[in-house]
């Protein structure tokens, strides 16, 4: 485990001042409503069996009989950063049993929701990191990922909060390192300023090429898209989304 990584998902920097080396926090609260006893049990008993271990052998966590990664080795590994309540991640894992997934989310109530969906559906192809994704970058080998989802990331619209946005040049450097040539980076947002900023960030990075050829490509999601909870809520309020799909250059 990287130095400073928590042994429990909830342990990091809660109420503590970040040290100079900590990344600026890109997420809001770690906990919402008090968990019910069944949810507390899921966190204490089930979550450890599906937790991604950045210090363990990467591939053996997705097949070859290691823990919850039992069964066939996975043909690709996809990562979702900020899965919220996990609806999209659980649906993708269900649709793609031959893919291994790493889901990262520091909001514990969301983590419990995902855990309960995985347990109910018997899905064994997901590993969870219940904290800041940036803590596990060192545990993901070069060119290990074939797809990365960053769906409706916190837009941090106030100027004084803009440093909290996750998609920094440093994050993009790490994504570029972890992604295979040809791998897909999917970003979606309903926040126009954020979309402009995110597009500028990724286009400024030499490792990524935008796949869009016409307006249709950013107004409409790819055919295999699964709506996220946040996206559904925005749509119910009449707010559309923009879909930015990039390829990791060779």
Assess whether 154 carries a catalytic annotation. yes
What count of other Cβ atoms lies within 10 Å of the Cβ of residue 24? Answer: 11
Give the nearest residue (CB) to ligand SAM.
Answer: 82
φ/ψ (deg, to 5) at 170: -65, -45
Collapsing DSSP states into helix, strand and coil, what is residue 239?
coil
How many Å apart are CA 241 and CA 191, to the nearest integer? 8
If binding means CB under 6 A, how many residues of this protein chain bind ligand SAM?
A: 23
What count of other Cβ atoms lies within 10 Å of the Cβ of residue 178? Answer: 21
Choose between 128 and 183: whose C-beta lies nearer to ligand SAM: 128
107 belongs to the binding site for ligand SAM (CB under 6 A): yes
26 belongs to the binding site for ligand SAM (CB under 6 A): yes
Out of 54, 82, 103, 139, point to the residue binding ligand SAM (CB under 6 A). Answer: 82
153 belongs to the binding site for ligand SAM (CB under 6 A): yes
Out of 52, 62, 101, 230, point to the residue binding ligand SAM (CB under 6 A). Answer: 230
Q: Which two tokens stand for residue 187?
A: 């970003």
Contact 245, 217 (CB under 8 A): yes
Helix-, strand-, coil-residue percentages of the chain, each rounded to 5: 35, 20, 45
Contact 153, 187 (CB under 8 A): yes
Q: Which range touches ligand SAM (CB under 6 A), out of 137-145, 152-160, 192-200, 206-214?
A: 152-160
137 belongs to the binding site for ligand SAM (CB under 6 A): no
Active-site annotation holder among 10, 94, 138, 154: 154
Give the interface with ligand SAM as residue ranges (CB under 6 A).
26-27, 81-84, 104-107, 110, 132-134, 151-154, 166, 228-231
Instruction: Tell me the catalytic residues.
Output: 154
């Amino acid at each position: 485990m990287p130095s400073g990584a928590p042994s429990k998902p909830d342990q990091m920097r809660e109420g503590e001042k970040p040290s100079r080396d900590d990344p600026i926090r890109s997420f809001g609260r770690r906990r919402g409503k008090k968990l019910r006893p069944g949810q507390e049990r899921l966190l204490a008993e089930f979550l450890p069996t599906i937790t991604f271990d950045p210090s363990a052998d990467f591939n053996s966590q997705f097949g070859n009989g290691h823990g919850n990664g039992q069964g066939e080795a996975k043909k690709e590994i996809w990562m979702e950063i900020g899965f919220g309540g996990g609806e999209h991640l659980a649906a993708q894992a269900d649709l793609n049993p031959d893919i291994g997934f790493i889901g990262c989310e520091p909001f514990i109530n969301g983590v419990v929701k995902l855990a309960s969906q995985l347990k109910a559906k018997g899905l064994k192809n997901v590993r969870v990191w219940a904290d800041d994704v940036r803590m596990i970058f060192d545990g993901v080998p070069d060119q290990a990922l074939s797809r990365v989802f960053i769906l409706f990331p916190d837009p941090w619209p106030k100027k004084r909060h803009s440093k909290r946005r996750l998609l920094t040049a440093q994050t993009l450097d790490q994504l570029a390192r972890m992604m295979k040539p040809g791998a897909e980076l999917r970003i979606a947002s309903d926040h126009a300023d954020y979309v402009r900023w995110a597009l500028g960030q990724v286009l400024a990075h030499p490792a990524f090429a935008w796949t869009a050829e016409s307006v249709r490509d950013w107004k409409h999601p790819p055919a295999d898209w699964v709506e996220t909870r946040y996206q559904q809520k925005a749509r119910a309020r009449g707010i559309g989304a923009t879909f930015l799909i990039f390829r990791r250059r060779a």
